[in-house]
Chain A
Amino acid sequence: MIYPDSKTILEVRNLCASVEGTPILKNMNFTVKSGEVHAIMGLNGSGKSTFSKVLAGHPDYEITSGIVLFEGKNLLEMEPEERARTGLFLAFQYPIEIPGVGNSQFLRLMYNTVQTHRGKEELDPLEFDDFVRDKMKLLEMREDFLDRSVNAGFSGGEKKRNEILQMALLEPSLAILDETDSGLDIDALRIVAQGVNQLANKDNAIIMVTHYQRLLNYIVPDFVHVMVDGRIIKSGGKELALELESRGYNWVSDEYKAASRVAA
């Protein structure tokens, strides 16, 4: 939702990033305010997943220029764990399996670490158990889910639900959902979307990175951005996603090229 007097959560200015010397992000500009839901759409290789990993601080990407302010602070100076504690959350496209580490143990460690850094009380195992089970209901998750190893042997849908559960526990001010709909059947998609919608409020913001319009039927964006070749070339409302779905991406590129020629 777009609220009046909302504060700026994320401000990306002229961001350029490369991986192993190959530029991927080329002058990315992007602003998110509290309460807003953004969708970044684009074809494979457009740089949209890179953008989400760069925001979360993945070490493979080198920032070559540009500024990213997260709630007014220089995000690029922070370690990935600091970004998480400050309130940035990335739901992974491919959540990592960690056999041998119990899911409940992991979730509690994560929760307590972040709580401590926000100057709040930690929860002991019993308190945490109640707390997490409550959140699990939101995502219609089975009880035995806590006893298993982190993501190990989880189905695609279970992994994505586990990501949203983590989001529910950490209560980030900015959640980036990277291809959260990929690999989900309609039921799982509905549950995940319902979870996200319940977590959205006027103080936080959500960025969905996706190349299908499908997810946007369930989590309705305030803004839709089209990313091509490492930058956003068109922005619009939720109707833009529908247009992309029916017309594809080429027309946006053509329009952009034509506009660039005119400008030149």
Chain B
Amino acid sequence: MSVVAQPSSGYLQSLLAGQPKVAASKQAWLNKLRSSAVETVSELTIPTTRDEEWRFTDLSMLTKVSLQPAHGEINLSASEIKRFYIKEASNRLVFVDGVYAPALSTVVAKEIIVSNLASELAKNSTLLQQHLAQQSKIEGNVFAALNTAYLRDAALILLPRDTQAKAPVHLLFIATQKEVVSYPRTLVLADNGSEATVIEDYVSLQDEAYFTNAVTEFVLADNARLHHVRIQREGGKAFHIANCAATLSRYSNYQSVSIALGARISRYNLNVKLAEGAECSADGLAMISARQLADTHTCIDHAQPNAISRQLHKCVVDGGAHAVFNGKIMVRHGAHHTDSQQSNRTLLLSDKAHVDTKPQLEIFNDDVKCTHGATIGQLDHDEVFYLQSRGVPHAQALNMLTYAFAAEIIERIPVPSLKHSLEQNVLEQTSTQL
């Protein structure tokens, strides 16, 4: 473990410097939320590798970059971002450096509300007050607190009772400015029996350093069903830290697939809390190379009986890259008949590639079925030989097997064109790397 100097609180103060410029809202509760977040930030520090939760992810590089809050001007035309569009997703909200871009967004859905928070605040104040910043806790989480301190707008999806969204919703967060920090925020409220697919997508139009600090919250009422696809394809020098929390009511179903391809340093915290009979899957793929670091921390909390969780997290690590996976499964007192399966599989493609993996089961109950496992390895040479024995050259055999390893996760994305384009990405990446 490398020793890191105690980061000065000055760094956090510099991040907060722009906060007073955030215009006050007409909603007193939102102003209060922000000011208490500012207080929380001032009580915290940037985590170091001495913090258990950050043991393997050294943020000292982040503290060495001078970052300004992103300015709110949007100088983008649709033609510049068209390549990020997803065919099936006829509803698209675009945020440029964290700022909502109505001119670039398209919403055709009538059956559900896809909008930005600022437009809906007055109409749905009580509902929003009840849920906003209530799933992703800011206590002890300096990044979620920072995001909340800057909370002014957000991507907002409201699914009315028993409605099924006809098309996926694409939330496209585009980074265009260098040396800035942006605070993307998303809130999805799924009422009883509603159903939708939400794609959260982080992309960049530039290669210099910047910092995305995102918070995403899902609230699923009884019997709601939600597919959450998360694609992190930030620029190569970016810092990406994101907190996602999903609260599942009785018999609801949350299926999430998270793909991390970009950023110099990325950290994704996913917290899922399951009520009685709820089901979740939390699958992930981190595919990194060169000097990238991708850290995924998940916590699946079986708070009540009869809930089911499934998790398959895969890492493909090349070059001198470093992957981290920490998967906690919590089974609380009284959460009888919990059924949980977790597996983490890592493929190391070079001698310098590195992974730290830690499955963590905390079970306060007898009557449960929990399995977990982690494997780390190179490509199976019997598989390579099989392909070679069919005439496939050695290098191409390695590519195919790497691709197949990653594709198992990508296959789980329920949006065909996105699945296809990611598979192409992976195929191209494997062919150039090996």
Contacts and interface: CB of A to CB of B under 8 A. Distances in A.
A interacts with B: yes
Nearest to A107: B390
Given A92-B386, A96-B386, A81 B405 contact: no
A138 to B, nearest CB: 19
B395 to A, nearest CB: 10
A117 B391 contact: yes
Contacts of B406: 100
Nearest to A56: B389
A19 interface: no
A96 B391 CA distance: 15
Interface residues of A, number: 29
A231 B331 CA distance: 59
B408 A81 contact: no
A18 interface: no
Contacts of B380: 96
A100 B389 contact: no
A100 B388 contact: no
A96 B383 contact: yes
Contact of A110 (B381, B392, B411): B392
A151 B187 CA distance: 42
B410 to A, nearest CB: 9
B404 A101 contact: yes
A59 B379 CA distance: 14
Given A58-B385, A80-B385, A92-B386, A98 B404 contact: yes
Contacts of A136: none
A85 interface: yes
A99 B401 CA distance: 9
A83 B283 CA distance: 40
A170 B390 contact: yes
A81 B404 contact: no
Nearest to B404: A100
Contacts of A79: 388, 394
Contact of A109 (B386, B392, B405, B408): B392
B390 A166 contact: yes
A84 interface: yes
A198 to B, nearest CB: 21
Interface residues of B, number: 23
A83 B404 CA distance: 25
A33 to B, nearest CB: 23
A109 B393 CA distance: 11
A101 B394 contact: no
Contact of A81 (B388, B401, B407): B388
Interface in B383-432: 383, 385-394, 400-401, 403-408, 411
Contact of B404 (A58, A99, A109, A117): A99
B400 A101 contact: yes
B382 interface: yes
B391 A98 contact: no
Contacts of B392: 81, 109-110, 113
A57 B383 CA distance: 13
A85 to B, nearest CB: 5
Contact of A57 (B387, B388, B405): B388
A49 to B, nearest CB: 13
Among A95, A100, A109, find the residue whose CB has the most chain B CB atoms closer than 10 A: A100
Contacts of A96: 380, 382-383, 386
B391 A81 contact: yes
A114 to B, nearest CB: 4
A260 B326 CA distance: 64
A84 B391 contact: yes
Contacts of A207: none
Contacts of A92: 386, 389
Interface in B96-146: none
A100 B385 contact: no
Contacts of A85: 391
Interface string A159-174: 0000000100010000
A193 B411 CA distance: 36
A99 B408 contact: yes
Contacts of A28: none
Interface in A62-81: 79-81
A90 interface: yes
Interface in A109-161: 109-110, 113-114, 117, 149
Contacts of A149: 404
A80 B389 contact: yes
The 8 closest A-B pairs by CB, nearest first: A100-B404, A100-B407, A80-B388, A96-B386, A84-B391, A110-B390, A114-B391, A113-B391
Interface of A: 56-60, 79-81, 83-85, 89-90, 92, 95-96, 98-101, 106, 109-110, 113-114, 117, 149, 166, 170
Interface of B: 380-383, 385-394, 400-401, 403-408, 411
